[in-house]
Amino acid sequence: MALFTIIFRHLTERSFQKLTDANMANFKDNVNWIITVPTIWSHSAREFMRQAALNAGITENNVRLVLEPEAAALSSRQQLLNGKPKGFRYILADMGGGTVDICAHELLGGGQIKELCRSTGGCSGGKSVDNKFEAFMVSLFGGEVWTNLKEDHANIYMDIMNEFEEQKRQFSTATSVTVLRVEPVLLNLLRETNEGHNELQMVIPETKYADSLTFNVETSRLTLTNSIMETFFNDSIEKVIVLIGEVVNECRSRKLPLNTLILAGGYSESPYVREKIANEFAANYTVLQEPDPRNVVARGAVLIGKTEKNFIQRIAKVCYGMEQLEEFNGRKHKETYKRTIGDTSYCSRFGIVIRKGDLLTHGKTFSYISKYRKPGTTDFLHPRIVYLSEENNPSFCCEEGMVAKIDIGSPNSPGVDTHTLRYDVVVDDIELVFKITNLTTYRLEGITVRYLND
């Protein structure tokens, strides 16, 4: 948390200095901060980013979290899809450095977008190619040498990775060889660490790359054949193709035909990535490339900052529910769902608030009503734990499905032990806001929501 807070504080200080230099210091309080996050991030990860921004001094009303593929979609709507009619449908693959997000949308009137099926994603972006390259370098120079390079010669390590990044962007199926410079520091570390086989030209013949890799001692250049470069990419590309296929199949099962696939994000700048994905889907889809894929999310984030929060209609990916406790009965309840409070054992049942597949729009409220008994009475029964479930109709709460805990104060109503509470879950952008109204006293109860590390 501390590191992210420092980063946010630095960004705000630099930004406000720019405003001051432009004689616009009076506008500081009107600056909105748009934080983009991958769609696969958990609720606790999103809350972590929000809290880091707040800790840096950004006011809560000026912070807005948005999903990266939705930012990309809004940018695409104004550029690549400009002029497309209402009802036009497409798949968007936002392929960044760390994550890949896949979603399917339909254009609505008034600049709105509708999610057609649950978005998906994974950690198979461009960084996974870098990881494969580093594993390759470790196989040549050894783990000790590569670790020493990263720890003691960080600038040289960054030079190597930056050069590979340039080659990664240029690589395609038509590329015959890729040539990389081997830094003298790396060769010296190899000589210092290994005894006997301490020259790179001696190491290569003993590796599995003996027939597809050469090293020129005079120029200190390493030449990789196409087949080696392909191994760096193929695992991540296969995962991306599977993810796109999942969205295609779900839309097909819903009888929602699609004929356009949009590629966005920095990873889609790679000709090899585009070629492989096009080879897989071009027979049935028009594959389009964002003209500025690396900056499409940033551009979309700016557009979202100027757009009403109801610009998109989402589909709930999971069920959300409140814990509903009933007295445990060993004859009909499994021990797995048993929870003990004080001297009493309960069965933790799943009280559904939002169903999987429900349409989520900004400001929409889902409600759940439950009884609450004050502490000190016979029981303490109020659903203070929020759960999620991948099931369509969950009956019981599982520990791994815990999302958040709601701490609620004891109602101040002498003589009344049992209260009826209405739990309202309000959709706010990509976050859920919890409110509790005491229907017995007609008061809005003060609560604290603590997100768990889900």
Q: Which domains does the chain have, with CATH numbers?
A: 69-315 (3.30.420.40), 316-451 (no CATH)
- φ/ψ of 328, rounded to 5, equals -70, 135
Whole-angstrom distance, CA of residue 215 vs CA of residue 141: 13
Annotate 223-239 with DSSP letters as a single string. EEEHHHHHHHHHHHHHH
CB atoms within 10 A of CB 228: 18
Question: Helix 2-21 and helix 43-55: axis angle, to 10°?
Answer: 50
Whole-angstrom distance, CA of residue 432 vs CA of residue 425: 6
Q: What is the pLDDT along the chain (454 residues), one digit of tens a residue?
A: 888 898 989 988 888 888 887 777 677 778 889 999 998 888 888 889 998 999 988 888 888 899 999 999 999 988 888 888 999 999 999 999 899 999 999 999 888 899 998 889 999 999 999 999 999 999 999 999 999 999 999 999 999 999 999 999 999 999 999 999 999 999 999 888 766 556 888 888 888 888 889 999 889 999 999 999 999 999 999 999 999 999 999 999 989 989 899 999 999 999 999 999 999 999 999 999 998 899 999 999 999 988 888 888 998 888 998 888 778 887 777 877 777 777 778 888 888 999 998 999 988 999 988 776 655 544 444 557 788 888 889 988 887 788 888 777 665 666 666 778 888 888 888 888 888 888 887 776 666 676 665 4
CB atoms within 10 A of CB 209: 19
Amino acid (1-letter code) at residue 131: N
Annotate 287-354 with DSSP letters as a single string. EEE-SSGGGHHHHHHHHHHTS-GGGEEEE-SSEEEEEEEEE--TTTS-GGGEEEETTEEEEEEEEEEE
